[in-house]
Amino acid sequence: MCGRFVRKTSAIEISQIFEATNNSLDLPVSYNVAPTSRILSVVSTVDGRRVQDVSWGLIPRWAKDSTKAASLINARLETVSEKPSFKNLIASNRCVLPMDGYFEWKEVLRHDEIKPFKQPFYFSPQPGSHYSHSGVLGVAGLWSSWKDPNNPEGSSVITAVALTRDANAMVSQVHHRMPVLLDQQGVMSWLDLATEEPLSHLVEIEDEALVVCAVSTKVNSSRSSGADLIDPIDLNDASNGKRKAEHNDELRLF
């Protein structure tokens, strides 16, 4: 889950929404943010919250190289406190990853084709929901600082992962995992360095937190970008090149 997302809100706006100082590079917005790219995070410091740019895909402190960063893009909430790569980050390396929405794929087998087809869906905050921070989602994350042992003169790389949990009933129509979303209280508690047991404050995410729509397979290629990637499509519309709904129960979800 959560291997591709949208950030169409600028760093300045993100910093205002999360009441943070903007300390990030001027990263361009993207409708197709892929693992290993630079993303924004909100972290707490002694001087308050800051928006910081980080690399998506965690490199543990002890890693000999950065080649496996792309495989540590998510951490399971159920096991994060046990895993060597993550457990030591919970106490003081928590962050919030702002996203306007994220993509999830469902593999569907169409009766007239042999190969399964990956239908992308776009999840975004339900307007007015507690999980909408002026239209932006706050995903619980962890960050780490890594220095390449083969390049001791180089600067440290800050990397991050997004936490995942079992999908709620609404999201599970498409996929069995979902990001750990934070409401306003959740952001407070997750970012507060004084929080004793941050994992214990994470609550179930109600079905009304998100809305979903099917989108074009253009998003499947990480080279695609552009606002049309989140345009809703009608899966029952034959003009999308898909079979009509009466022939395809799998696609008749929404």
Interacting residue ranges for DNA, rule: CB under 7 A: 1, 3-4, 34-37, 60-62, 67-68, 70-76, 79-80, 83-86, 105, 107, 118, 164, 175-177, 217, 220-223
| Tokens standing for residue 12 | 């300045």
Q: Which residues have CB under 8 Å from 253's CB, separation 6+?
A: 173, 174, 235
Nearer to DNA, 20 or 58 (CB): 58
Question: What is the DSSP code string of 149-171?
Answer: TT-TTSPPEEEEEEEEEE--TTG
Q: How far is the CB of 78 from DNA (least distance, A)?
A: 8
Closest to 20 measured CA to CA, from 45, 55, 54? 45
Alpha helices in the chain (DSSP H): 11-17, 184-191
Nearer to DNA, 126 or 216 (CB): 216
Q: How far is the CB of 193 from DNA (least distance, A)?
A: 21
Q: How far is the CB of 21 from DNA (least distance, A)?
A: 29
* Burial bucket for residue 80 (CB in 10 Å: 0-12, 13-18, 19+): buried
Q: How far is the CB of 19 from DNA (least distance, A)?
A: 29
Return the sign of the alpha-carbon dihedral for residues 113, 116, 117, 120: positive
Nearer to DNA, 102 or 131 (CB): 102
Q: How far is the CB of 52 from DNA (least distance, A)?
A: 21
> Helix, strand or coil for residue 212?
strand
Nearer to DNA, 1 or 158 (CB): 1
Q: How far is the CB of 144 from DNA (least distance, A)?
A: 12
Nearer to DNA, 17 or 160 (CB): 160
Q: How far is CA 243 from the centre of its chain?
A: 31
Return the sign of the alpha-carbon dihedral for residues 219, 130, 172, 112: negative
Nearer to DNA, 35 or 49 (CB): 35
